[in-house]
Amino acid sequence: MTTPFAGPARVRFAPSPTGEPHVGSIRQAIWAWLYARHTGGQFLVRIEDTDQSREVPGSIERILESLRWLGLDWDEGADIGGPYAPYVQSQRLEGYHAAAQRLLDSGDAYPCFCAPERLDALRKQQQAERRSPGYDGMCRAIAPADAAARARSEPHVVRFKVPREGATTVEDLLRGPVVVENRTLDDFVILKSDRFPTYHLAHPVDDTAMRITHVTRGDEWLPSAPRHALIFDALGYPRPIYVHNPIILAPGGGKLSKRHGAKSVLEFADDGYLPDAIVNFLCITGWGHGDDTIIPRHELIKVFDIGAVSLAPATFDIDKLNWMNGVYLRNLPEAELAEHIAARLEHDLPIEVPRPLDRALIAAFTPLIRERVQLLAEVLPLVEFFYAMDVPTPPAEEFLTRRWKGRAADAAGSLGIAIAALDGVAWTSEALEVALRGAAEGAGLAVGDLFSLIRLAVTGKAVTPPLFESMAIVGAAPCLARLHAAEAALRSAAVGA
Ligand code: GLU
């Protein structure tokens, strides 16, 4: 289904500050943001902190930091205010109290004085009788005047009086009408004994006050949606357009866990993912635009439709994300990629490497590695040898594999040939290649066999950016010193053998 709504949408991201924002929650934010931008509307960030026992200190900052890192700017929100401020539910209690009072006055709600022990016993009895749990409506029978008098001095909650008959229909943009028999709903709490609202009350009150047009949220809220609809109706508020979308599953089904790469957004940032890649990837996890995979942000804004997200739960495919991140990295203009690499290396290189880092060096090796990394975190192992004053010679056995197995003397001799061939060569990648290919051919060696020795000697690693370009960057003196050291090590290994 596509969205019939034509005007600018007001869409909100309404996280509870209960910890690090995870990918499922962030996908809600991405979809809401894209839809707001798609329609030329507004994106709001509202903090839903009415369950104060679950609040994790610092999470509001982490949520906002995640949104900022992703480049999801908001028009109104907890930190910047806006025409319907405040955007933090714990600061909006008066509005919930007023709404609850209106519902009490109209007879759509009543105070409930049942002690927690009674409710516990009721739940146990219902379980034992295999009935669905729910409030039995005992306090519904108290005369309103008596209830109001008792409420002045006795601890109580406020419950919504769900009609005993009939059915409630919720229009969901993805599903069409969802019909629920009212007798299956119990009289649920809207105001707790601490005078904080439940989500069931706070959502209709705030989304009305903030002129929200579309409520996009996880489908774990679908069973509660009829309750919300009843409150909207009882308060005389127009209902928003609901979009209940399925959660993201782990590969093979089941709940997404860390093991499957479902980290918090800021961990993705630490691991060297690009915000654009994350936005693209999460957006197409559960929504699609033909067979397109790489859809840049400005294009997503044009084509994203909140009414077209899939009802089939999507799975989190970390390999796809890594691949996409590699594409985004490669597509960056070279200077921008070099900036990302520089920022990453400022953080990853040991403190002994002088700061600020040499930008000319980074500009020189950036083209050599751009095809070889999917994540910025993979840059350091590829380039650290450029920063080492001297690369320690790896143990002889690392050289003596495959063709060189058990042949330390031959390996040393071949390095000697390479060193001789470099004598007087102009230190450019082209000249180095000509000289060393010539040396291999002259000595009857496979080029790969000789180059693997040189690579390990110069860089200390078996896998590196292209050899000759790397040698050109490292420079003649360090390269020759490392080649001599490796030759000597292999000679003494040969003597020792
Ligand atoms: N605070 C709710 C949650 O974090 C938000 C649900 C909604 O978007 O309405 O699950």
- Nearest ligand 1 atom to alpha carbon 18: 4
Q: What does the pLDDT average to over 121-148?
A: 96
Each domain of the chain, given as residue ranges in start order, spans 10-88+248-318, 92-245, 332-387, 396-496
Q: Would you state the pLDDT for residue 263?
A: 84
- pLDDT for the residue 389: 80
Cα(226)–Cα(232) distance, integer angstroms: 10
Query: What does the pLDDT look like over 171-195, one tens digit per residue?
Result: 999 999 999 999 999 999 999 999 9
**Tokens encoding 116:** 């927690």
**Buried-exposed string 230-261: b where 16+ CB fall within 10 A, e elsewhere:** bbbebbeeebbbbbbbbebbeeeeeebeeebb
363-405 per-position pLDDT tens digit:
999 999 999 999 999 999 999 999 988 889 999 999 999 999 9
C-alpha of residue 52 to centroid of ligand 1, in Å: 15
Tell me if 210 sits within 8 A of 12, measured CB to CB: yes
Pick the CATH number of 92-245 from 3.50.50.60, 3.40.50.620, 3.40.50.11240, 3.30.300.30: 3.40.50.620
pTM: 0.90
Per-residue pLDDT, 437? 97
- pLDDT digits 0-9 by tens, 12-44: 999 999 998 889 999 999 999 999 999 999 999
CATH of domain 10-88+248-318: 3.40.50.620
Task: Give the amino acid at 151.
Answer: A
pLDDT for 337 equals 97
CATH topology identical between 10-88+248-318 and 92-245: yes
Q: What is the pLDDT of residues 68-80, one digit of tens each?
A: 999 999 999 999 9
Retrieve residue 281's tokens: 């990837």
Residue 218 alpha carbon to ligand 1 centre in Å: 8
For 243-281, what is each residue's pLDDT tens digit?
999 999 988 888 887 776 678 899 999 999 999 999 999
Q: Which residues are catalytic?
A: 258
Name the one residue in this structure whose structure tokens are 């900052």. 61
Residue 5 is predicted with a pLDDT of: 61
Say if residues 438 and 450 touch (Cβ distance below 8 Å): no
Distances (CA, A) of 329 to 293, 339, 367: 15, 11, 12
Question: Ligand 1 site: residues with CB under 6 angstroms?
Answer: 14-16, 48, 203, 215, 217, 221
CATH number 1.10.1040.10 given to 396-496 = no
Angle at 392 between CA 390 and CA 397, to 5 degrees: 155
**Closest among 346, 338, 104 to 235, alpha carbons compared:** 104
